[in-house]
Each structure stands twice: as structure tokens, then as C-alpha cells.
Amino acid sequence: MKNNKVSSLEKALTKKAKEMDKQKYVLKLYVAGITAQSSAAIENITRICDENLKGRYDLQIIDIYQQPTLAKGEQIIAAPTLIKKLPLPLRRFIGNMANEEKIIVGLDLRPKEEK
């Protein structure tokens, strides 16, 4: 009986992992003009997405100077800011986007390592 429970659990976990591998990520990166910090944030997020979400993401880059109403609607208080819209839960990352580990864990692409 115990082996059946373990087998069922393994099947459920495998199915969930396959579903997560197919999930599409919807991301919005808010930047403030064409600055070195904005360019670095765009490069970092694009690289992270290309390496970890191969073809499973939609990244929209929004310049808050060009489209201030979009920034206001999302209550952007600092740039760069990355918002993960989907899959839920919604998450926000504020800063230069250089901490790859923080972003990968925050996007639920890898569990947080215990220290």
C-alpha cells in the first residue's frame, strides 16, 4: 500500500513539473530612459530569460519617460523594475537586475538554496 502512495505522489510531481516547463511567463521591465543602468537591466533580464525560459516568455520593455501612464498604472516608484505578471503569484524586482540568483529564485525557476 505504501508503494502505491509513493508512486502516485511521484506521478503527481512529475506531471506538475511538466506543466511548469510549459508555462508561459509574462514579464514587464520598466526602465527610465536609455541609460547604462537601463541597458544593463535589459541585457541581464534578456539573458536570464533566454537561458532559463527558452521560448516560454513574453518580455515587454517599457520606458517610463515614453509611457508614463503605464508606469503610473503599475505604481512604479523606481526604475528599473521587473514585474512577473504570469504565472502567479505576481512578483516585483526593483534595482539593477544584476543579482541573477535572486531573479531566478524569485521567478520560481529554482528553489531557494538553504544556508
* Within-domain flag for 94: yes
What is the domain range of residue 45? Answer: 21-106
- 29 vs 3, residue with greater confidence: 29
Whether 9 has a pLDDT exceeding 90, the answer reads no
What would the pLDDT profile of 30-45 be if each residue is shown by its tens digit? 999 999 999 999 999 9
Q: Give the domain CATH number at 70.
A: 3.40.30.10
* Within-domain flag for 7: no
Residue among 100, 80, 101 at smallest CA distance from 92: 80
* Within-domain flag for 13: no
* Within-domain flag for 6: no
Whether 15 has a pLDDT exceeding 80, the answer reads no
* Within-domain flag for 45: yes
- At a CB cut-off of 8 Å and minimum separation 6, what does 53 contact? 25, 109
* Within-domain flag for 1: no
Give the chain's domain count.
1
- At a CB cut-off of 8 Å and minimum separation 6, what does 105 contact? 111, 112
Q: What is the reported pTM?
A: 0.78
* Within-domain flag for 68: yes
